[in-house]
Structure 1
């Protein structure tokens, strides 16, 4: 009886752990030599609807091209495209549920801001854990800062699928009238305020537009608080803590006070439901001097032919500059200049039956050929520097972002609590615009933050 039991235990040991000399197959090696496989890519895009260009690219170029390349290697590949046209939060809920229940596509497109939340929930895993060897010559073409979009707590989870950058746009015509230089580049916050003081002498002109308040929502956080906060050297989330009513946050709110309490910005505009859109229109009408925005403003808002606030003389009338730190060297990482970026990430489902093939497909999706094709002839920033060098050659503003901004940019912390933190930051700026002191607004912000994330999570 004892001999039988021992044999049974050894047999189980052999099956489970390979302890009888039979090596256990690693998860990354599942179906590695398959000559026929099926992969599904999931994206919040639908032909003729939301993100139609991306859907058409996947359906009409990526899938035929990839399957053709596989066929040339003697492999039969079937790529299925699961289209979605839902709101971002609904799409996020669907993706999270699919991953949690062991389903979902093999390659999934997500907003970069969801990455940490999905990672913390165990719904996605580090790329190397899923596919093994992640060597790829494409990494060399993606700036380290941009790679950060697909990283969480020092581990790489996916490949960025595009990004953007934030700069200070300024109206060269108004600058000329105020005696300011056409090639303006402030070196600190005071330089921005000094330029605003000169622009204030021009009738009917709002010198500076720095998004504030709750009506502008996330635009306040991304085109206002976070880049300015990065200029103090302390990001909003650091070492596992959310920044509370710190000296750095008070400095940020102090800058808001100088702009909106000092007559350099329009406080009423910050409370309007369509305030951001209104600021676009005012800039295009030569009535705002300086505006902190993303490159979207250049290519889609004041674009001379198809922009939402067309500016026929955009190419000569609009200037751009890096966002300065509070003073030289005071930014995150000791930087003189800072920026914030957003963008999407493609990740591989840990439940995929074909991890190696999914990694090959992911590399193809982010190859120079595929990324260039995804643009459909438009000039837009991509994750790849080699593609940017080619497609942005005729656009000096986007080239500036690719070369000067992307290497220094930062991303929002992709954590579940971030939206609540963002809302609290928006309210803090609203309080200052409404007349509260930076100290009062900071105290109220900390109290809201503690309620949202807990005392132990506030620094």
Structure 2
């Protein structure tokens, strides 16, 4: 990454030792304004670094002297969450923060993020956003505290080349029982567990967001009620989801040992899926670039020719196969920013047109708005455009206050299944008991 416009982040061992420089330098109303933009993932920082001069030039054409200082601070998700909370609390956070939507709820609820409703109401770009993306970004109080610049579709990725070589059907499975039948064929022919579905405590939050939640979302059972702001921790859908995990473990279809070891995504998604020995993986649309693309973590040569996607099969009677729509990163503005209007201007510009198309292509994300399909370089990403077509019909997973606590309970319950310390019903009871304790009476439906 070129460093001439980047403030290098502190070393990992000193992450909590020093705060980032305060929001932005004070300036006279007629003078230049400087805003700071935080990117904590290297790929995102690299593409934004190239966009900043173009933004500054565009603002100059409009008679606005806005300068942007990029703060590139490579962190893990957990490190970022700890550090940004600390900095927002101390008043030292940057003006604009690029982060995943799961971080927004807690920070907005604590009053750290700027309410963007008035800014979005008068912005014609907001009309281009898919309704599902808007609803996913809406917070429990009904307002918006981030401008999404990504969307995602979660489905089951499969090695089409491998399954065809093994003589296994590659058409869309209608039910999980149908898919399990195919997985058993693979297991019988290879002796290897053929499916990775994130589970247990080692995978962390991914066991919730990439594993359990997509399965649960298509059952038709209410999980989170946005009106009452409460979680229903006991339902037929929850029982069915935990029962599925138990069935997969009992049939030796999940790589249990890998799931229980540190960094379980490495031997599964980054090694065995790439080798073809584990040919089915629960994954999001970001996998086309971030995981298996030419510059991804574990490239698969000719990935579009070798890999296909299935919608999630129906798990309970009365449901149909479905894909799961989700968010991605979005730009939030520090509620204490000294230059909030300029910060919002930057967030809007980065979430529009060519600037947005370049970010989407760089990180392998789906466009959150309808007007990007003909904009280069995004238009040259057929896998992403195909995934985008599903946004309108995809199932939206339940999201709400207390999600971190629910995630923790899911991780613990699925860990018991992996260890064969609980069957599906017992895991469902374990989950409900722990979720009730972690959430508290005020956030649990009775």
TM-score norm. by structure 2 comes to 0.81
* 416, 419, 425: which one aligns with 2:404: 419
Q: CA deviation at 1:392?
A: 4.5
2:305, 2:408 → 1: CA distance? 37
- The 5 Å alignment of 1:345-424 reads 345-374=330-359, 380-390=365-375, 391-405=377-391, 408=394, 410=396, 413=399, 415=401, 417-424=402-409
Q: Is the CA contact 1:42–1:108 (under 8 Å) kept in the aligned structure 2?
A: yes
The Cα offsets for residues 135-167 of structure 1, whole Å up to 9 and x where unpaired, read as: 222223322222334320232222112233211
Q: Does 1:454 align with 2:440?
A: yes
Structure 1 residues 230, 378: CA separation in 2 closer, same or farther (over 3 Å shift)?
closer
Equivalent of 1:224, from 194, 208, 211? Answer: 211
Segments of structure 1 that go 5 or more residues without pairing to the other structure are 1-32, 46-50
Q: CA deviation at 1:292?
A: 1.0
Q: Tell me: CA distance 1:88–1:214, structure 2 relative to 1, closer, same or farther (3 Å).
A: closer
Deviation of the 1:226 alpha carbon = 0.3
> Mean Cα displacement is larger for which, 378-387 or 218-227?
378-387
Q: Is the partner of 1:217 in helix, strand or coil?
A: coil
Alignment partner of 1:139: what SS?
Answer: helix
Counterpart CA distance in 2 for 1:191 and 1:449 is 32
SS of the equivalent of 2:389 reads helix
How far apart, CA to CA, are the structure 2 residues paired with 1:448 and 1:323? 27
Report whether the alignment pairs 1:40 with 2:32. no
Pairing of 1:190-205 with structure 2 (within 5 A): 190-205=177-192
Alpha carbons of structure 1 residues 252 and 318: separation in structure 2 relative to 1, 3 Å: same
**Kept in 2: contact 1:189–1:324 (CA 8 A):** yes
Structure 2: unaligned runs, 5 residues or longer: 1-27
Q: Report which stretch shifted further, 118-127 or 355-364.
A: 355-364
The 5 Å alignment of 1:226-245 reads 226-234=213-221, 236-238=223-225, 239-245=228-234
User: What is the Cα deviation at residue 235 of structure 1?
Assistant: 5.5
Asked if 1 retains the 8 angstrom alpha-carbon contact of 2:233 and 2:431, the reply is yes
Report the Cα offset of residue 168 of structure 1.
Answer: 0.7
Task: Indicate which of 241, 245, 262 corresponds to 1:252.
Answer: 241
Match of 1:144 among 131, 134, 144: 131
Deviations 1:160-188 (A, max 9, x none): 12233211111223432454444x21233
2:286 is matched with 296
**2:268 aligned residue (279, 282, 292):** 279
Q: Where has structure 1 moved over 6 Å in runs of 4 or more?
A: none
Q: Displacement, 1:398?
A: 2.4
Q: Evaluate the alpha carbon distance shift between residue 409 and residue 232 of structure 1 in structure 2; reply closer, same or farther with a 3 A threshold.
A: closer
Please name the residue that 1:9 is paired with.
none
CA contact (8 A) 1:36 1:77 kept: no
5 Å-filtered alignment, 1:2-81, equals 35-45=30-40, 51-62=41-52, 64-81=53-70
Q: Deviations over 1:182-228 (max 9, x none)?
A: 4x212332332232233333233423322222222222222210000
2:188 corresponds to 1:188 = no
Partners of 1:292 and 1:378 lie apart in 2 by: 19
**Highest Rg: 1 or 2?**
1
1:329/1:368 Cα in 2 relative to 1: closer, same or farther (>3 Å)?
farther
Superposition deviation, residue 382 in structure 1:
3.8
Shift of 1:236: 4.1
Q: 2: CA distance between counterparts of 1:229 and 1:413?
A: 12
Question: 2:259 and 2:35 mapped to 1: Cα distance?
Answer: 44
Size of the aligned set, in residue pairs, is 412
Within-5 A mapping of 1:91-170 = 91-100=80-89, 104-128=93-117, 131=119, 134-153=121-140, 154-170=142-158
Partner of 2:12: none
Counterpart-to-counterpart distance in 1, 2:98 and 2:167:
48
Q: Separation in 2 of the partners of 1:292 and 1:245?
A: 24
Counterpart-to-counterpart distance in 2, 1:274 and 1:94: 22
Alpha-carbon RMSD: 3.1
- Spell out, residue by residue over 1:116-150, the C-alpha distance to the aligned partner (whole angstroms, 9 max, x if none): 11222122243125x4x632222233222223343
Query: Which residue matches 2:18?
Result: none
After TM superposition, the score normalised by the length of structure 1 is 0.79
